[in-house]
Amino acid sequence: MKVLSPMPQTLAQKLIARAAGRASVMPGEIVNCKVDLAMFHDSSGPRRLKPMLEELGAQIWDKSKVVLVMDHYVPERDEESRKIVRIARDWAQDQALPHVYDSQGICHVVVPQHGHIRPGMFCVGGDSHSPTGGAFGAYMFGIGSTEMLGVVVTGEIWLRVPRTMAMNWSGQLSPGVCAKDMMLFMTARFGMNGADYQAIEFTGTAVRALSMQERMTLCNMSAELGAQVGLVGADRVTEAWLTSVAGQSASPQPAFTSDPGSADVQHDFDASTLSPQLAAPHSPALGVPLADHAHTRIDVAYIGACTGAKLDDLRFAAQVLKGHKIASGVKLMIAPASLKDLAQAKAEGTLQTLLDAGATLLPSTCGACAGYGDSFAEDQTVISSTARNFKGRMGPPSVQVYLASAYTVAASALRGRITDPREVMP
């Protein structure tokens, strides 16, 4: 009798199969998965979950698997934000939640930095950029409050197994070019729904050469492509980062990799040919080579958000600005993604380089990216390292926001106009 070989499985399929208690799964199947981690923040969490749980008379299924982060409405600037944060703090205390991070930074950076995401896990988050967790070889995606209620009560969630789109990057990125440029290029190429409910797996030598935080940028912005999840297979870079930063050296789950030829479609790119990219107002999909908008005057340069203000991003900006001053009439705003990254930037001199150049330091929160706090004024032109530039998101509808890497944001602040960082880097 002929024995049929099992169908090759992608990383996404293997992660879902583990969570579903199955040997394998196929794209299109609907399966029920056990959740290893549920993350939500002050905006998406207690103010919505608390009344629903009370109405049901239900309890949290496993408090050790819940993480709450206060990052959207802190520091509180008005009565509405004080009310939202107070609900979160009081509920966390009432529930005796063991994992609460209050004003420590942005959830997508804080959660992995404290060792909560490891290879092999199946996680959900109450935020659209939750796919950031896929950088660690974990399956993590964003869900709404009603779905989160189901997870919090049962510890399970159903999903349809997605097809996998492999984004294979060969070669090596040039100096001044980084993961943000890769994502702006791909978002322009495929559009905001180009990977609608697919798993994107980032592969190739250029991806393997990226630092952990740069991989986080790739997976974070898979949301801009409409993907269900973004993934990078765990390797020595993952292990080293978890050991040194998060204090974790071992995973309770196995680290999976995709079987050869298992992706439903693969797109190939040469990283060595990529130049600095830019997304024009008002969509991340309006990406073009930076040269198309070179010399556009700017009022504000903003380095912030889970996408663009991690320690690596601060270092990119410092490389450009070291020994220089920003242009007269330009405001450079820096909102580090977490207090851990801020502390390291201080310790190594990166922050001082930015301050010496004329940067203004803002709190380590979502801030202007979420349209809260330090947003922008009428008719200002902004170049930003955030993930999104939708009209009215970061200030009045008249604000023109260009998206770029921290390299490009810093170079533009230096000259007062959109500038290729390679023109000013040492």
Domains of the chain, start order: 11-268 (3.30.499.10), 279-423 (3.30.499.10)
Q: Is 218 exposed, middle or buried (0-12, 13-18, 19+ CB in 10 A)?
A: buried
Q: Which residue shows structure tokens 């967790």?
A: 133
Q: Give the pLDDT score at 372.
A: 80
Which pLDDT tens digits describe the chain residue by residue (426 residues)? 343 446 899 999 999 999 999 999 999 999 999 999 999 999 999 999 999 999 999 999 999 999 999 999 999 999 999 999 999 999 999 999 999 999 999 999 999 999 999 999 999 999 999 999 999 999 999 999 999 999 999 999 999 999 999 999 999 999 999 999 999 999 999 999 899 999 999 999 999 999 999 999 999 999 999 999 999 999 999 999 998 876 655 556 778 999 999 999 999 999 999 999 999 999 999 999 999 999 999 999 999 999 999 999 999 999 999 999 999 999 999 999 999 999 999 999 999 999 999 999 999 999 999 888 767 999 999 999 999 999 999 999 999 999 999 999 999 999 999 999 999 998
What pLDDT score was predicted for residue 384? 98
Q: Tell me what pLDDT residue 254 has.
A: 76
pLDDT for the residue 2? 40
- How many other CB atoms are there within 10 angstroms of residue 101's CB atom? 22
d(CA 9, CA 25): 8
